[in-house]
Each structure stands twice: as C-alpha cells, then as structure tokens.
C-alpha cells in the first residue's frame, strides 16, 4: 500500500522562543517531499510534486501565517510543559 504522513517537530535548546525551530515535514512512501521550517519561514520541495506544492503554498498568505504561528502556538506551550515537568527534574 501507499503511506502518507506528516511529522511536526519542535527542536529546542531552551524554552526561549528564539531557540526553538518548528519543522513540518510531509512524507509519501517514506520519502520527504515537502518541508516547512520556521528558520526559513517558507516551504521547500524535495520532489517535483513537492516543489510545485511549495510554490503554491508559499503564495497563500493564510496558510503561511498559520504555519509561521505554530512555533509560538504549538511548540512554545509544549516545550514550557516539558521544562516544568521533566527537564528540570
């Protein structure tokens, strides 16, 4: 069969927002074809389909603002929780 999945990662060195990177990757049959990184602030395609998708998505202001906000709305609260419950113990 065919497998499609999305992996959303928050990489961090501290709970400070400037030390957090949000990486949102799209995979099809174990091959990453599209990635958003909060460091670059845009999508990058790794296959022909991914390049076309990145171009369309990067030109959609609503999708881009939502993805750029995830560093603060998704990563930051979870990292703060990790620091307060696990990493400081």
CATH of the domain at 19: 3.10.320.10
Structural domain for 35, as ranges: 4-88
Overall number of domains in the chain:
1
- Higher pLDDT among residues 81 and 87, named by residue: 81
pLDDT of 14 strictly over 80: yes
State the Cα–Cα distance between residues 15 and 7, nearest whole angstrom.
21
- Is the pTM higher than 0.75? The answer reads yes
Q: In what order do the strands lie in the sheet with 31-37?
A: 4-12, 20-28, 31-37, 42-45
Q: Residue 36 gets which letter from DSSP? A: E
């Amino acid at each position: 069969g065919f497998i499609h999945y999305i992996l959303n990662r928050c990489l961090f060195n501290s709970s400070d927002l400037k030390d957090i990177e949000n990486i949102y990757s799209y995979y099809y049959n174990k091959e990453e074809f599209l990635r958003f990184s909060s460091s670059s602030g845009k999508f990058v395609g790794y296959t022909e389909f991914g390049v076309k998708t990145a171009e369309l998505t990067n030109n959609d202001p609503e999708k881009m603002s939502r993805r750029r906000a995830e560093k603060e709305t998704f990563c930051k609260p979870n990292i703060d929780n990790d620091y307060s419950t696990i990493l400081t113990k």
